[in-house]
Structure 1
Amino acid sequence: MPDAPSRPEPFTPHTEPAALDDLRARLRATRWPDAPEDAGWSMGTDLAYLRELVGYWADGFDWPAQEAALARLPRFRVRLGGLGIHFVHVRAAAFSASAAPVLPLVLSHGWPDSFWRYTKVIPLLTDPGAHGADPADAFDVVVPDMPGYGYSDRPAGPPLDSLAVAGLWARLMDVLGYARFGAAGGDIGSHVSRYLALDHPDRVVAVHRTDAGVPVPPGDPADLAPEERAWFESVTAWAATEGAYAAMHRTKPQTAAFGLADSPAGLAAWIVEKLRAWSDCDGDVERSYTKDEILTNVTLYWLTNTIGSSMRMYRANGAIPPAQLARRVEVPSGFSLFPGDIARPPRAWLKRTANVVRVTEPARGGHFAPFEEPELYAEELRAFFRPYRAAGAA
């Protein structure tokens, strides 16, 4: 079969010096726009901050050191559905035979990121005993880059939507020998995890999400509880003031891609504004991320030239039929609603759309919680999946 999965092969990318020389030359040649006095972040990315970040990217940021740190993760490539898929696969640390069984767990990222989102949390999940937690809560962790993101292939034809990616992840887990597993994610990764649970309920033992995605109204709005109606109104208001990026991604992603693929400063502006706006940082992006962490994420996009292909997934997801969006998840579902996230849904909506068994509201963290607050996020996953370990090992 032409699309039969290949055997996973170890993968360690190496950036040629010429690529970094080109990047630095572009950064140093940036033509800066003007900005109104005291505009700050009110109209988008702050000019003063971006000049500072770009200056560090050109003359201080050590990409080879960051690339070497990422290379310490066991990383692979496999061919699935005609596409080369990059993924991290870390098996649980050994522990007492009397402990609970290891649960395989596939983690799905969102935009604007990649496997980067989970790099801090992976060791906490695979070796909890080394980080002050119960060794029996260890997971085998799989973190794929979605098609068009990171080191996975960019689809040459139509972009894949979240349903299609969920199907690829089911095949990936089969290739890795996992008959049953847990699924977790946020942002677009929340959609992928949801469709994994919807389309493979015999394999997904439980699903954890940090959001419920963009809400789809029921047939009769009068059926909504007051807190649900208030949430719909808040989402509409958010889209009017903060959703321009998503409208561009859904409608004309290729237009934006020309500029973002050519200008590293423009790419950084497009990404860092979202890191700041969607994180629990009180307006100071470096409360949540160091410059090195921000630029590792942005540099991954630059070197792989995946900003255009990542944005096109919004267009694909925008065409998912409403009947698919309205399906209810019957697999046991958990939600961790971090305070700095966007469009936090009310519990009434969660229970309407999923078989909810656990909802928590951690004290800190935002849209990128696995990176912002890895310890809190790891504990959320350990607690939620603990009752399902035996089912995952069956």
Structure 2
Amino acid sequence: MCVAEDVKPLCIEIRQSQLDDLARRIDMARWPEKETVGDWSQGVPLQAMQDLVGYWRKDYEWRRCEDWLNESGQSITRIDGLDIHFLHVRSPVENATPLVMTHGWPGSVVEFRDVIGPLTDPEAHGGRAQDAFHLVMPSLPGFGFSGKPEGTGWGVERIARAWGVLMERLGYTRWFAQGGDWGSAVTTAIGVQKVPGCAGIHLTMPIARPQPEDLAAPGPDEQRALAALQHYQEWDSGYSTQQRTRPQTIGYSLVDSPVGLAAWIYEKMWAWTDNAGSPEEALSRDAILDNIMLYWLPATGASSARLYWESFGSFSPQTVQMPVAVSAFPKEIIPAARKWCERVFPDLVHWGDMEQGGHFAAWEQPGAFTAELRKAFAAMR
């Protein structure tokens, strides 16, 4: 494989002064009073937030995550005037299938940590050599260690085309794409635009909606999806309204206050994962903080929120004329019934109804996620 010269290895070395500044800001935090309810209905409870931040201040070790990133094939390349950070992990199986996987908000490339090994080296994880993938995992523009757009126009359609450039630059001429959350929007845009090289896509949050006839007599799966959509609209979409209308305003708090940033993200770890009351039942505290650090250290609270301003309208159903696979996890925040998806994905080659898991599929259920990708893309090869 030939890699273009303008793809450069990246080694992250966060200055100790940045970590000291984080500690100082945590120590200086001014806390609100305790919530007036006994649950999470007003947001992150004070005690839960203080426990998380206390661990962050005293026990969390950033260098562990930094070492993992540096060992995971980090690179940077400039596409359409913007630096794109990505992990590139090649399989030991030379003819493995290239796959680009895209995270969303408030996620990052750390979501994929536990699936990299099983996907790239399946024989070492109970799989077959023909199940192997070469993985490319970019950080969205304005997220993680990718560049921050200085002008408008970096919506999901442009990102989708940039991923095509990235895969070509890495020497991949035929590849697949996978995504959840904003990654679903980008991956769907890859399919809609038929980005050269892409031979099929897999989604964990398919973008499809009911028609009037569906609402007249919904089946059981449609009723569950409609109930989840209503809950999201009524109780869980305030963050998106703020970020798609005034991302700069919320950005000041997210970039200046580590406690404010952590609360903004930690709430979604509770609301969007498959748990019985605590985010840590689905994700480890270290994993949650690794992800938060990829927003805090590069100060991407505003730049990541701006993607909502740029592209919120892209969460509308569009027909994809290429093979599509879907894995439906039960606690997905914006689910879609299979019947709705079949209308916009005429070449739906795989549908998986999962028993456990929420919005962060690869992060929460790495084993089930890996098995689904093996099945999904086997149907497209």
TM-score normalised by the shorter chain: which range applies? Answer: over 0.9
Report the equivalent of 1:363. 355
2: CA distance, partners of 1:233 / 1:68? 42
2: CA distance, partners of 1:13 / 1:103? 28
Single out whichever of 228-237 and 174-183 deviates more from structure 2: 228-237
Q: Find the residue that maps to 2:143 and give its secondary structure.
A: coil
Normalising by structure 1, we get a TM-score of: 0.90
Report the equivalent of 2:194. 200
Report the equivalent of 1:377. 369
1:56-135 maps to which residues of 2 (within 5 A)? 56-94=55-93, 101-135=95-129
Judged with a 3 Å threshold, the aligned counterparts in structure 2 of structure 1 residues 194 and 62 are, in CA distance, closer, same or farther, namely same
Is the 8 Å Cα contact of residues 337 and 360 (structure 1) preserved in structure 2?
Answer: yes
Q: 2:319 aligns with which of 328, 339, 342?
A: 328
- Structure 2 residues not aligned, in runs of 5+: none
2: CA distance, partners of 1:201 / 1:310? 24
Single out whichever of 183-192 and 29-38 deviates more from structure 2: 29-38
Q: Find the residue that maps to 1:328 and give its secondary structure.
A: coil
1:172-187 maps to which residues of 2 (within 5 A)? 172-187=166-181
Tell me how far 1:113 sits from its aligned partner: 1.3
Deviations 1:237-259 (A, max 9, x none): 42121110110011111111111
Judged with a 3 Å threshold, the aligned counterparts in structure 2 of structure 1 residues 276 and 338 are, in CA distance, closer, same or farther, namely same
Tell me how far 1:387 sits from its aligned partner: 3.1
Is the 8 Å Cα contact of residues 111 and 187 (structure 1) preserved in structure 2?
Answer: yes
2: CA distance, partners of 1:254 / 1:40? 30
1: CA distance, partners of 2:6 / 2:32? 48
Say if 2:50 is the partner of 1:51. Answer: yes
Task: Give the aligned residue type for 1:35.
Answer: K
2: CA distance, partners of 1:368 / 1:318? 19
1: CA distance, partners of 2:317 / 2:271? 28
Count matched residues: 374
Say if 2:306 is the partner of 1:312. Answer: yes
Task: Give the aligned residue type for 1:10.
Answer: P
Is the 8 Å Cα contact of residues 243 and 306 (structure 2) preserved in structure 1?
Answer: yes
Say if 2:233 is the partner of 1:239. Answer: yes
Q: 1:345 aligns with which of 307, 326, 336?
A: 336
Deviations 1:119-160 (A, max 9, x none): 211111100111111122100110000100001000011151
Tell me how far 1:350 sits from its aligned partner: 0.7
Q: Find the residue that maps to 1:173 and give its secondary structure.
A: helix
Deviations 1:21-77 (A, max 9, x none): 000010111100012344331111111011011111111111112211222101100
2: CA distance, partners of 1:299 / 1:169? 24
- Structure 1 residues not aligned, in runs of 5+: 96-100, 390-394
Report the equivalent of 1:13. 12
Report the equivalent of 2:261. 267
Tell me how far 1:194 sits from its aligned partner: 0.7
Is the 8 Å Cα contact of residues 107 and 144 (structure 1) preserved in structure 2?
Answer: yes
Single out whichever of 9-18 and 232-241 deviates more from structure 2: 232-241
Percentage of pairs with the same residue: 37
Task: Give the aligned residue type for 1:146.
Answer: L
Q: 2:164 aligns with which of 162, 170, 176?
A: 170
Tell me how far 1:233 sits from its aligned partner: 6.3
1:222-237 maps to which residues of 2 (within 5 A)? 222=213, 226-227=217-218, 230=223, 231-232=225-226, 234-237=228-231
Normalising by structure 2, we get a TM-score of: 0.93
2: CA distance, partners of 1:207 / 1:326? 15
Judged with a 3 Å threshold, the aligned counterparts in structure 2 of structure 1 residues 54 and 237 are, in CA distance, closer, same or farther, namely closer
Is the 8 Å Cα contact of residues 159 and 309 (structure 1) preserved in structure 2?
Answer: no
Q: 2:293 aligns with which of 277, 288, 299?
A: 299
Tell me how far 1:196 sits from its aligned partner: 0.6
Tell me how far 1:353 sits from its aligned partner: 1.2
